[in-house]
Amino acid sequence: MWTSGLSSLNRYRMPERGARIARREERAYGRYVSDEQRREAGCPARQAVVIQRGQATSRLPIVAAVEASPAAVPARRSVRANPAPLLVCLLATLTGACRQDMHDQPKYVPLRESTFFADTRSARPLVEGTVARGQLNEDTLRYTGKVDGADATVFPFPVDEKVLRRGQERFNIYCSPCHARTGEGDGMVVRRGYRRPPSYHTDRLRSAPIGHFFDVITNGFGAMPDLAAQVRTDDRWAIAAYIRVLQLSEHAALDDVPADRRGDLDRAPGGPRR
């Protein structure tokens, strides 16, 4: 059912609602035509629609007044969109989509098959004679603990008090949990069920060459894992030197102690020297 002038009546009674109606009409038709402009143009009054429940909203074109008298309504400024930014963005998108070099690289993941090599392996063996930087271990004695394939009986560098203190520190960290700080082989993990290692004070290990201890620390032996990744090369020699100190401490005679240090034999551990 059509009702004449309903929009104008509501606009006078409810200013807020009238403003919302005007904004909706301006968005829908590009401009708003008031009742005064309609009357000046000789057009009929504004017609509105009474919406019934369950029906869709419809509206008569308000621009009829403009068609009747275009001069009565001020012309709206037309704005033309600049297509240049849109074209630039579109071109950048299409250009970037064609460049997938960094996303889909021609590479092999570990253990992937290769059709280029005859053995179908993508991981290639090192070229014969190739040595990685920092791994040119030409000093066989220092890095293997052997001389002509046998355990060495000498150290690759001089052993002084500094080396022995370093060996004691490394031994207490890496070796004492199993071998104990005395070298008896009754460390804390052994007391809790781990396999007991031999004592350093047995005749067999007391007579073993120094290269034997370096080799065991480097490669492991029996239940003992290797410590090459945890202990540096020179520190392994320092530990081997400290093992000799432990062996000597359990079998040394009084004459082996310097005269000026014999008074320290009776002092408590950690106490002041005399």
**Do 48 and 147 belong to one domain?**
no
Q: Is residue 116 part of a domain?
A: no
Report whether pLDDT(199) > 60.
yes
Tell me the angle at which helices 233-251 and 161-174 cross, rounded to the nearest 10 degrees: 90
Of 50, 72, 94, which residue constitutes the final position of a domain? 72
- What is the reported pLDDT for 181? 95
CATH of the domain at 154: 1.10.760.10
- What is the reported pLDDT for 198? 95
Residue 272 pLDDT class (50, 70, 90 cuts): low
Rg, the chain, Cα only = 48
Residue 2 pLDDT class (50, 70, 90 cuts): very low
pLDDT per residue as tens digits for the range 67-123: 444 444 455 555 566 777 778 777 777 665 555 666 777 788 888 899 889 999 999
Residue 257 pLDDT class (50, 70, 90 cuts): confident
Tell me the angle at which helices 6-13 and 15-29 cross, rounded to the nearest 10 degrees: 130
How many domains in the chain? 2
Contact 161, 167 (CB under 8 A): no
Q: Is residue 270 part of a domain?
A: no
Q: Is residue 42 part of a domain?
A: yes
- Among left, alpha and beta (phi > 0; psi -120 to 50; other), residue 195 is beta
Q: Is residue 79 part of a domain?
A: no
Residue 32 pLDDT class (50, 70, 90 cuts): low
Q: Is residue 128 part of a domain?
A: no
Among all chains, which residue has been given the structure tokens 């057009």? 43
Strands 47-49, 146-147: pairing is unpaired
Write down the mean pLDDT value for the chain. 78
- Provide the residue range defining the domain that includes 41: 2-72
Angstrom distance (rounded) from CA 33 to CA 107? 68
Of 44, 72, 100, which residue constitutes the final position of a domain? 72
- pTM, two decimal places: 0.54
**36-45, 164-173, 214-223: least confident range:** 36-45
Q: Is residue 108 part of a domain?
A: no
- What is the reported pLDDT for 37? 65
- What is the reported pLDDT for 95? 61
**Do 244 and 161 belong to one domain?**
yes
More confident residue, 88 or 29: 88
**Do 165 and 63 belong to one domain?**
no
How far from 219 is each of 173, 185, 213, 214, 233, CA to CA, in Å?
18, 19, 10, 9, 12
Through-space distance between the first and last CA atoms of the chain, rounded to whole angstroms: 120
**5-9, 120-124, 160-164: least confident range:** 5-9
